[in-house]
Amino acid sequence: MLDRLEKLLESGQDSPMLRLSLGQGYLKEGRHEEAVDHLRQALQLQQDYSAAWKALGQALTAAGDPDGARAVYDDGIRIARDKGDLQAAKEMEVFRKRLDKQPPG
């Protein structure tokens, strides 16, 4: 599936949804840095894409960057609330609280 999505990207069919799909796919495969790159691209294309904010926070957490994930969740929560996407905001709040409960380091 990732090969197909990469081919779409190579053909010039870039979109926030395509980047989200790639990011989620790479995250599932444990390829965290690639996931982070695609999710950041999704947000460059559409800054208020709540699903991409949530996925980016998850990817940063998986990549071992809890501080980066916290910052992403904070921004994502604010943006989702402003957009009226309250479910996404609540989900990110849960992920953010889980990070706060983890011991540092």
* CB-based contacts of 13, cutoff 8 Å, min separation 6: none
**DSSP assignments along 5-62, one per residue:** HHHHHHTT---HHHHHHHHHHHHHTT-HHHHHHHHHHHHHH-TT-HHHHHHHHHHHHH
Residue 1 token pair: 């599936």
For residue 1, what pLDDT is reported?
Answer: 87
Cβ atoms of 35 and 24 closer than 8 Å = yes
Query: How do residues 65-84 score in pLDDT, each as one tens digit?
Result: 999 999 999 999 999 999 99
pTM score, whole prediction: 0.93
Q: Rg for the chain (alpha carbons), in Å?
A: 14
Q: How many domains does the chain have?
A: 1
Q: Print the domain residue range for 29.
A: 2-101
**d(C-alpha 39, C-alpha 27), whole Å:** 10
**d(C-alpha 84, C-alpha 73), whole Å:** 16
Query: Looking at residue 67, which CATH number applies to its domain?
Result: 1.25.40.10
Query: How do residues 25-58 score in pLDDT, each as one tens digit?
Result: 999 999 999 999 999 999 999 999 999 999 999 9
